[in-house]
Every structure is written in C-alpha cells, then in structure tokens.
Amino acid sequence: MHARILSATLRGIDAVPVEIEIELVSGYGRTTMIGLPDNVIRESKERVRSALARCGLEPPKESCLVNLAPAHTPKSGPAFDLPIALGLAAVCGAVAPAALDATLAFGELRLDGSVRPVAASVALAASSRHTRARRLLVPRPHARLAATAAGLPCYGVDTLAEALRLLRDGEARVPPAAPLAEVPQLARGANEPDLSDLRGAPLAARALLVAAAGAHNLLLVGPPGVGKSMLARRLPGLLPPLALDEALEVTRIHSIVDPGIEGLLGRRPFRAPHHSSSGAAILGGSQGRPGELSLAHRGVLFLDELPEFARNVLEALRQPLEDGQLLVGRAQQSTALPCRAQVVAAMNPCPCGYRGHPKRACSCTPAARARYAARISGPLLERFDLVLRMHPVAPDALVGATASSSSAAAREQVSAARARLGAIAPLELEELLARQRLEPDAQELLEAFGERLGSGARTIVRTLRVARTIAALEASESIDAAAMAEALSYRPTEELAPR
C-alpha cells in the first residue's frame, strides 16, 4: 500500500513544498523516516501513533517507510504531524489514498488527536501555489488566513478524526473557510499615542510629518526628557493603513515567531529593541528566523540610545536600510529577509546628555564628546534623511502651547502627499529631476550647501528626496527655495557631521 500527501517546510520566511510518501515494507511494526528530517519530525511518529489510536486505528503490523521529498532539503518542525498521520491512515485503509494526492496539510498533533496551530502558517499555505494541491487541511485557527494566502479551498480541522471524516465523506458537506477580503481597521485605543499629545514642539511635529510622508529615516538628537521616544512612538499613527498585500506580508513574517496569529495584522509594526540586543536579535538568526529589522517590515523600527548599540550591529544595518532586504547566509544557501522598515533613532548629544542644554552645563570633555559621536559612522549617519536637534520646552511654553494636529489629521496629509509622490521608492538623481522641477533659487541653495560641506552625491540625492516630499506636502508642482531650505535644515549638525 502506498500513499502520497503534500506539506511544506520553512526556509527563511518562505516555505518549500514537500511531498510525503508513505509505503508499507517488509518488517514488523517499525517506522523509518528518510529525507533529512529533524528530531522534531522523528519524534512525530509517537504523537501520530497515539493520535491514530484515539481514532480507533491500529498501526500497521508491517514496517512503514516515510520519505520526505526532495531528499536534499532539510525538513523541520511539527507541521508534518497531521500529513504523516493522514498518510498512515491511508495505508491502513481508513481513507482512500487518492483522497490525499492533491491535498496539502500541516498541523501539530497532541496525543489525544487534537490539532494544534503551528508557526509560519501563511508561508506554509502559500507554498501550495507551487504544487499540484487542490485543497488544504490546516488547524482551524489558521483556516481563513491560509485560504487567503493559498487561493485554494481550505478546510480547518480541530482533530485528526475530523480530518479523516472530511476525507472519507468528501468536501460537499463541509464548506471551505472564507478568505479574508480586507484588512481589519482597528479603532484607536484610549491609551494609543496621538500626535495631539505633543505640545510646544511644532518643529518636531513637522519633521515627523515629513518623515511619514516620504518614508524617510529620522534621527532625533536631544537631552534626556526632551520627548524623543514620545515623538518616535507617534510615527506609526501617521502612516497610511496597510493595504491587503502589505498586511499579508507583515502577517507572514510575524506568524513565523507567533503561531497564535489567526487573522491579518491590521496595524503597522512598531519594534523597539533594547540597545543590548545581539546581532541575531536585530538582524535575524542563521536559520533564517526574522529579527527585529524584518519584524518591523512595512512599519517602524525604533532604535533608542543609538550609540549604545554594538558597533558591528549598527554597521550591519547600513546595506539593509539601503536595499530593503537582508541576506542571511548559511552553509549552502542564503535567505533574503524583507526589511523595508522606516527607522527612527534617538540619541543624546553627548555622554552626559546636556550639551547645548539651556539650563544645565555639559560635564563631558571634548575627547569624550568626540568618542561618543564617533560611535555613529559617517556612512550610517548618511542613511538618515532627517536629523532633528530637539531642545527642552520651557514649562510656561508647554502649558500655554497649542496642541499639534491629531494623528488622524496628519495621516490624511501624509496620504495626500504620498498620492502626489507616487510609489514610495528611493529615486536616483535623474529620476528625481525628471519627476519634479527644481526652481533656480532652490538649485542655488543646494549647490551652495554642497560646496560648503563638500557633500557627496548620496547626500545631495537624499536632500532632494526630502525636498520633494516637502513640496508634495505643500501641494507644490516644483521644489522651491522654501522646500529646499527646510530639507537642508534637517542635515546633520557639526557635532554629528560625517567623519
């Protein structure tokens, strides 16, 4: 007796289709697994044996050979429990082997035969698009999400017995799960940060608006207590809602680290790792597991106390911030992890934090200041399109100041500006000049800036991108001197100038 069923194994954030072949061979009661299974898969035979017994099925008296193809691809995880159990049930005669041939299944089994959710459900389901599968059998909590990712009829089951009944009786009696057609729009919570909480800092609110409109990386520099973290945490509320394909991307990545995800994630991610985090935690592990940078994909990565992060971690961020993806190398292959995240970083102006403070004197020596600033390399600093120097707000100015506009109002401005800009993508110099006319006085300002600081092409292009965003916010058809002057005001100050 021979049976075949489809499943998948995770590689990075994608899944590789796997065909499971099960055959009875001469011998007595032994189950052998081949095809580079890991220890979790090898242990599945005990979970499967117990689950089959709960369904009233005796294991075959003959030996059983389980082959996971392709043979050269390492397989891992508990998602193979359900398909292996279904294949064994087929060779035992409990279901027709033909019922499994075009079925892709995944799920972990408990000893009582119930089916548990597994990690990476979106990627596992999406792999069916590259197979002969015509339907999916998955844990019930994953059913609607899997149907959305696969584009095929998807049936959620709670137990192995339920899966066997569905295969025996056919699909006509059980409707497939309905795919998710739209991203859930979550109402703003009472404690959710709002831009209107920001008082007495109109320049900071403006910089945040520009950063949101153009998806620009933002560096906040200022003494402790000035509101750097407060400002950063309000950026996600200014960004447009996730589109359906973006939400599926975000959910796909997060489902790898959180098996409990049952539906599309409706909010843009906001990740704020501690400065003591390792390179693997920020960038991702060698097994292709996403790190904080990838978990912030389509959202915001906040790096507080930027100079306190390990130098090798900061330098490793440079290329991913430019390319929008991170290549994680392994012994025989490399995995591309998406990481098109908007980075907001915060730092003090010096080790003590009070350089330039109107009331408190800085206690740092010039050498200490230089060492502190040197922790941020010039190439990394150039990745920040906007650098904002924040200053304390006097108590009387704070109490009497007008609140900033709400996040909802700012989000409408951002959406309108993005519509004028078109697709948010880093444009090079020729494309920038082709899409937006540069007024002569704005060009003079830019040329004077470049000559004074000896700025390279990358700095000029990034400044033009910011100026173009400002023009879009003002609904201007061209980049004028005012837009260029504002863009230039966001360049690093002398204390942080690239070295």
Tokens of 387: 């650098």
Beta strands 63-69; 14-25: pairing state:
antiparallel
Q: Does the residue 467 lie in any domain?
A: no
Strands 2-11, 14-25: pairing kind: antiparallel
The dihedral through the CA atoms of 452, 454, 455, 456 has a sign that is: positive
Shared domain for 225 and 361, answered yes or no, is yes
The pLDDT value given to residue 498: 44
Per-residue pLDDT of the chain (499 residues; tens, 9 = 90+): 799 999 999 988 899 999 999 999 988 778 999 999 999 999 999 999 999 999 999 878 889 999 999 999 999 999 999 999 999 999 999 999 999 999 999 999 999 999 999 999 999 999 999 999 999 999 999 999 999 999 999 999 999 999 999 999 876 678 899 999 888 876 555 567 889 888 878 899 999 999 999 999 999 999 998 999 999 999 999 999 999 999 999 999 999 999 999 899 989 999 999 999 999 999 987 677 899 999 999 999 999 999 999 999 999 999 998 888 888 766 566 788 899 999 999 999 999 999 988 889 999 999 999 999 999 998 899 899 999 999 888 776 666 566 678 999 999 999 999 999 886 666 666 777 777 788 999 999 988 888 876 667 788 888 999 999 999 999 998 999 999 999 999 988 666 654 4
Residue that is written with structure tokens 């009786």 in the block: 169
Question: 154 lies in a domain?
Answer: yes
Assess if residue 92 is contained within a domain: yes
CATH number for 113: 3.30.230.10
pLDDT the model gives residue 111: 96
Q: Which two tokens stand for residue 183?
A: 């991203």
365, 248: one domain? yes
Pick the last residue of a domain from 392, 426, 460: 426
- Structural domain contains residue 140: yes
Within this chain, do residues 291 and 402 fall inside the same structural domain, yes or no? yes
The answer as to whether 19 is a domain residue is: yes
Residue positions counted in the chain: 499
Q: Copy the structure tokens of residue 429.
A: 């110099």
C-alpha distance from residue 252 to each of 15, 369, 401, 487 (Å): 11, 43, 43, 36
3 state SS for the chain: CEEEEEEEEEECCEEEEEEEEEEEECCCCCEEEECCECHHHHHHHHHHHHHHHHCCCCCCCCEEEEEEECCCCCECCHHHHHHHHHHHHHHCCCCCHHHCCCEEECCEECCCCEEECCCCHHHHHHHHHHCCCCEEEEEHHHHHHHHHHHCCCEEEECEHHHHHHHHHHCCCCCCCCCCCCCCCCCCCCCCCCCHHHCECCHHHHHHHHHHHHHCCCEEEECCCCCCHHHHHCCCHHHCCCCCHHHHHHHHHHHHHHCCCCCCCCCCCCEECCCCCCCHHHHHECCCCCECHHHHCCCCEEEECCHHHCCHHHHHHCHHHHHHCEEEEECCCCEEEEECCCEEEEEECCCCCCCCCCCCCCCCCCHHHHHHHHHCCCHHHHCCCCEEEECCCCCHHHHHHCCECCCHHHHHHHHHHHHHHHCCCCCCCHHHHHHHCEECHHHHHHHHHHHHHHCCCHHHHHHHHHHHHHHHHHCCCCEECHHHHHHHHHCCCCHHHCCC
* Same-domain check for residues 281 and 396: yes
CATH number of the CATH domain containing 396: 3.40.50.300
Q: Are residue 141 and residue 199 in the same domain, yes or no?
A: no
Gap between the Cα atoms of 323 and 346, Å rounded: 22
Asked whether residue 119 is domain-assigned, the answer is yes
Last residue of a domain, one of 383, 409, 426: 426
Cα-based distances in Å from 438 to 140, 161, 419: 56, 69, 20
164 and 74 within one domain: yes
Q: Are residues 265 and 307 in the same domain?
A: yes
Compute how many other C-beta atoms are within 10 angstroms of the C-beta atom of residue 440. 9
Q: Total domain count for the chain?
A: 2
Placement of tokens 């520009």 in the chain = 210
Domain annotation covers residue 300: yes
Residue 138 and residue 216 in one domain: no
Note the pTM of the prediction, 2 decimals. Answer: 0.91
Do 282 and 415 share a structural domain? Answer: yes
Q: Are residues 214 and 115 in the same domain?
A: no
**For residues 109 and 52, is the Cβ–Cβ distance under 8 A?**
no
Q: 53 and 106: one domain?
A: yes
Question: Which residues, in sequence order, are CB contacts of 56 under 8 Å at separation 6+?
Answer: none
> What is the reported pLDDT for 368?
95
| Domain termination residue (choose one: 426, 449, 478) | 426
* Residue 478 in domain: no
Based on C-alpha coordinates, what's the Rg of the chain? 28
With 0-12 CB in 10 A as exposed, 13-18 as middle and 19+ as buried, what is 28?
A: exposed
Distance of alpha carbon 224 from its chain centroid, rounded?
29
Domain that holds residue 377: 195-426
In this prediction, residue 402 carries a pLDDT of 64
Task: Please report the sign of the dihedral spanned by the C-alpha atoms of residue 242, residue 247, residue 253, residue 258.
Answer: positive
Q: Do 117 and 22 share a structural domain?
A: yes
